[in-house]
Amino acid sequence: MEVSPYGLQSLWSQGDIITKGVAVLLVAMSIASWYVMLSKAIQTFRLRSSAAAAGHAFWDTTSLAQGVATLGRDNPFSDLARAGANAMSHHSTHKGHLHDQLSASDWVTLSLRQAIDEAAAKLQTGMAVLASVGSTAPFVGLFGTVWGIYHALVAIGTSGQASIDKVAGPVGESLIMTALGLAVAIPATFGYNALVRGNKSTLAKLNKFGFDLHALFVTGSRAATGDDDRSNKKTTLTAVGGI
């Protein structure tokens, strides 16, 4: 089978060290961005089920320990519930400490806020990679484009004629680099925007859950929602010390 003189295989076989370096860099950026997008997409999908449990199943249990068990492990919703329970237990059992100057409400608020901030930081993991790839990949491809045009000019100068066979290869090389840069940047940009929306949704649900937890720990019942009659049947704090 005849190999096209203007394809990727020809680009790799005829390109110099800079051309190959740019191509390898773009491929590495693409692999990194797709890895982040796929792993974060799986994480977002799993967090949706945890958020659903935090909104319904958690409040249908009869004790805090059972409620936390419905949230599973290794997710920000279960970490938030455990942080609040541990803060309440610590405040009630460790008297004579500096935190006694704070009310139980303030102490729990600080603990919940810290847990939410830590969850937000974890959700942002990998987002910088997508932002960097989306913003720099076109310019990396543009560098390859400029280098290909330079080769075309060199071919014209050394041959003394601007025939199509002299410049087609280098110009094709430059166009391929442009296409590679865009092919890497566009998915990364769309993935970044989609994941940002997903993270905002997760944080909104996490803040709502934190507000309900605060009401639970301080008053003994979840804050009334107005459209949920189950607010009169809320998880109690009888098992705080065991979380």
Nearby residues of 64 by Cβ (< 8 Å), 6 or more positions away: 81, 85, 216, 235, 236, 237, 238, 239, 240, 243
Which pLDDT band holds residue 1 (cuts at 50, 70, 90)?
very low
For the segment 87-104, the average pLDDT, to the nearest whole number, is 64
- CA 170, CA 153: separation in Å to the nearest integer? 9
Which distant-in-sequence residues (6+ apart) come within 8 Å of 218 by Cβ?
Answer: 104, 105, 108
pTM, to two decimals = 0.75
Q: What percent of the chain has pLDDT over 70?
A: 72
Q: Is the pLDDT of residue 135 over 90?
A: yes
Per-residue pLDDT tens over the stretch 205-218: 999 998 888 888 87
